[in-house]
Chains A and B, each alone.
Chain A
Amino acid sequence: MPVFALPLALFALSALPLLAAVYFLSSRHQKRVVSSLLLWPKDALPKGGGRKASRFRAPWLLLLEILILVLLALAAAAPMLGLAAGRRPVCVVLDDRVSLRAHDASGASSRARGLAALLAELEKAGKWEAFVVIAGPRPLSVGSAQTPEALKELIGAASSQSKWPCLAESSDVSAALSLAGQTAPPGAVSLVVSDRAPPKDLAQGVRWLSVGALLPNLGITAAARGRADDGLARDDRVMVELSNFSAAPVKAQVVVERADGAASFVKVSEAAVPIAADGRETAVFKAPPESTLRVRLAVPDALDEDNAVTLLPEPRRILKAKVEVGDETLRQAVSRALLAAGAEEVSSGEALLVSDAPVPLMPAAPGADPKAKVAAPLPQTPQADVWEWRIAVSGKEDQPKAYTGPFILQRGHALTRGLLLDGVVWGAPPAGVAAQTDDEEVVGLGDRPLLVDRLFPGGEHRLFMALAPDLSTLAETPAFPVLIANLADWRLAHEPGLRRANWRQGESVRVAVAPLAPGPWRLEAPGAAPTQWRGGPVFEIPTARTGAHRFMSADGKWAWPFQVNLCNAEASDLRLAVSAAAGQWSDAVKTEGRFKPAFLLILVALGLLMLHAWLVRRGAAASGSEGGFQA
């Protein structure tokens, strides 16, 4: 049975009666009164129809024209014949939101309802071939099936392989539809199974089945853990945010447990937290340090996945700095600012160097100008990334001047975050700091660089600042500790390892690996095979699944575990789920592997057209000699 991509073109067949009418009207005999039939040939019978019955003489030219018209109309309708024999291609997009795991009192989940609705909808489509795409944060194609059994098997396999676990905090259905459009044959229709309402601008050919259920839910929407040594506390502190997504107030029973062994937990504390309808409450608990904690709701509800979070001990990350500043006032200002930023001042070892000593110079390369001196390179030890902040203190011999601005800040640089230099008097030599071509100017005054950042191939940074303390108020203004705090954060961000151990699903875990092992690095995530990571010095790791993760070097020397929890208010709010159906499938259905004979039909029509022209021409020629064409 052929399928037409443009069935409206078949309306061209309505021209057939018109053609026949034109033909018979044009061949209708007009009455002509003559004096006598004496001179008229008696054997000249009419070509076409007439009132008198005579031997049937088929109007072959008319039949030829009808055939040409039919062929052209069929070609315009883009018929498709083929191997799939009318099998309708359907892009099945399965939402991977965690909210699809929500179950009602009977235990039926939205996911199960969606699968049943999917099969029922496909049953109405007759023969079909489903191309299944999972719509998570990133779409994933899992294959195709042509029968309900094969589709169930395909979806079951996807579920067992964690391809459709319904554990995503969000889903990008548009991207999934785009991927499905690329996976399925052109012209395929789409069927979306989700628990959310369809978009208002639902595209043509997309059928949207919302299989959600409006259920009350209580969930943990945020969780954090503080270290015991962070301040004066001796215990770690755990903060959880509890959200009540229902129209009735509830009392949440929260249990804090610590890990005792590989899979068992011991209760540490418990509290009942009253939460108003549609309310949100925060609860803080003390917990023993250096142990894995689990915070859970004691009473199960519609969605289990947001009822518990696991919190690992946060890593201790303190910046070490070595201050070698001769100017006493400036040195004290630097030390105070470093202490405020949480940095630890050391006198030896690998640390951030803040110095006002001149940069050691070394002769230029052989053959170059012997007077030219270049800054000595930083030590290139594999495991030491030495950052320096060189403050070029200007004396009277440099004839420094005091500048009040306007200062130009490179806002894209990490050092200028929240930095304001309004009202600051900055004393510096007229030429500013001696910058090189590749230096990034962080703070400048016109064409006069005051603070520049020089990046070295190993990832190290050396900052140069021109400052005349006697003429400057910078060290006495809030801008100075802001500058030092930014420096500390920036440096810590480039320290190897994780800044946090507990992440929310959907966040990108930032891991710095330089100058440690060059790689490759390995990521172990729950429900997925380990993946290898190369490059660096910083990796941005997406968190698609909840659970315990570990990022480690290939040799196992460096390993940083981190935990991903759901903690997503939108995912926990089951009141956003709806049960509805929207959209219609287009009749324009195409199937992969179909034979499209439109071009062939056009060729045949052209051939018949040429035959028609030849017959007409031959008839005209014969009319002049033998009495006309009598097809």
Chain B
Amino acid sequence: MPEAQLFPSIPAAFARGRALGAGWRLCRPESAARGVAGVLLGKRPGSSVEFMDHRDYQPGDDIRRIDWAAFGRSDRLSIRLYREENAPRLDLIVDATRSMDLPGTGKAAAVATLAGMLLEAAQGAGFSPFLWLAGPAGLRPVRQARGDGMALALDFAEAGTPRIVDRAARLGAGSVRVLISDLLWPVAPELVVRHLAAGAASACVIQVMAQSEAEPPKVGAVRLHDHESGEERQIHVDAAIAKAYADNLAAHREAWGAACRCRGAQLVEVTETACFPDFQCEPFLRARLLEPR
């Protein structure tokens, strides 16, 4: 019988994630993360002082950008283009419902570790990190993005299905959006991913499951207790039931994967073993979400 692993508390895990994130940097996507009045040069034309190119004037262009000198030399109205100067933003959406804190597992600690690490890695990469907690009422921003306030906000106390598609939430235009959830709620993945990727520079869905959830269940009579809803179901797990569970899990992941591929988003599937006892960076490197600092 394997020795039961002890997982840190959520604040400790969050702090551990912060420490881990100091060695990583959030990758900037090909389409540069856009922001307002940033300090990083964008890859698109903008309003910075760094000249980038000319183009022909088109009606509606700002006439203040007309290069009059060039007009004098070539008698053609052209517009001076300057490189865009932006401030990239990370919208980190964390499923804060009760199911993420599954008793007896390191699921919540893994989520806290990943959140802390992504926030720290984003800051290290010049991103402006924004933390959103997804609950049944929608997305709730966590104002204090730094310090213990964020960790304390991760209490996973709300019961119900997280409502990610919350149009009232003001996600940043052109931001890097990362959703951390177990994705174990009845919803069409396409709706969630489409909303997540809409207007984003990039989107990534990180599915965090407990190891016991990712593996086929053991044979035996069990009384299932839904930690989220409190619903119970008695079932005798045999080989067929275990296979059906594995098939359902694979189908579920495939549905999310298809939705992500359709929207150009990344899907990272990890369990608590990705964070404990050591952080496993390979899934995040493959998804080009993180890069060494």
Q: Which residues on A are within 8 Å of B, measured CB to CB?
A: 27-42, 44-48, 50-52, 623-628
Contact = CB atoms under 8 A, between A and B. Distances in A.
Interface in B189-237: 209-210, 213, 220-229, 231, 233-237
B104 interface: yes
B264 to A, nearest CB: 26
Contacts of A42: 233
B233 A37 contact: yes
A29 B222 contact: yes
B136 interface: no
B99 interface: yes
Contact of B240 (A27, A30, A32, A628): A628
Contacts of B228: 35-36
Interface stretch (B64-72, B141-149, B179-187): B179-187
Contacts of B233: 37, 40, 42
A48 B221 CA distance: 9
B235 A40 contact: yes
Nearest to B185: A36
A44 B103 CA distance: 24
Contacts of B225: 31-34
B186 A52 contact: no
A623 B242 CA distance: 10
A28 B221 contact: yes
The 4 closest A-B pairs by CB, nearest first: A36-B184, A35-B99, A627-B240, A29-B223
B236 to A, nearest CB: 4
8 contacts: A29-B222, A31-B223, A34-B213, A36-B184, A40-B235, A41-B235, A624-B239, A627-B238
A34 B226 contact: yes
B235 A39 contact: no
A50 B182 contact: no
Given A47-B236, A623-B239, A628-B238, A38 B184 contact: yes
A617 to B, nearest CB: 14
Chain A CB within 10 Å, residue with most, of B210, B234, B249:
B234
B221 A35 contact: no
B230 to A, nearest CB: 10
B41 interface: no
A41 to B, nearest CB: 5
A625 B238 CA distance: 11
Given A29-B221, A33-B225, A624-B239, A39 B248 contact: yes
A44 B249 contact: no
B63 interface: no
Given A27-B221, A31-B223, A34-B224, A39 B249 contact: yes
B82 interface: no
A27 B219 CA distance: 11
Contact of B224 (A27, A40, A48, A52): A40
Contacts of A623: 238-240
Majority secondary structure of chain B interface residues (helix, strand, loop or mixed)? mixed
A31 B248 CA distance: 21
Contacts of B222: 29-32
A630 B245 CA distance: 19
Contacts of A40: 224, 233, 235, 241, 245, 248
A46 B241 contact: no
Given A29-B223, A29-B236, A40-B248, 7 more contacts: A29-B234, A31-B223, A37-B224, A44-B236, A46-B235, A47-B221, A48-B236
Chain A CB within 10 Å, residue with most, of B107, B226, B249:
B226
Contacts of A624: 239-240
Chain A CB within 10 Å, residue with most, of B222, B226, B235:
B235
A623 B219 CA distance: 11
B236 A33 contact: no
B184 A33 contact: no
B234 A52 contact: yes
A628 B226 contact: no
Nearest to B98: A35
Contacts of A28: 221
A46 B210 contact: no
Contacts of A51: 223, 234
A248 B209 CA distance: 111
B52 interface: no
B210 A38 contact: no
Contacts of A27: 221, 236
Nearest to B248: A39
Contacts of B102: 33-35
A46 B234 contact: yes
Nearest to A34: B224
Nearest to B243: A624
B235 A44 contact: yes
B252 interface: yes
Nearest to A52: B234
Chain B CB within 10 Å, residue with most, of A32, A47, A48, A50:
A32
A32 B210 CA distance: 13
B262 interface: no
Nearest to B97: A35
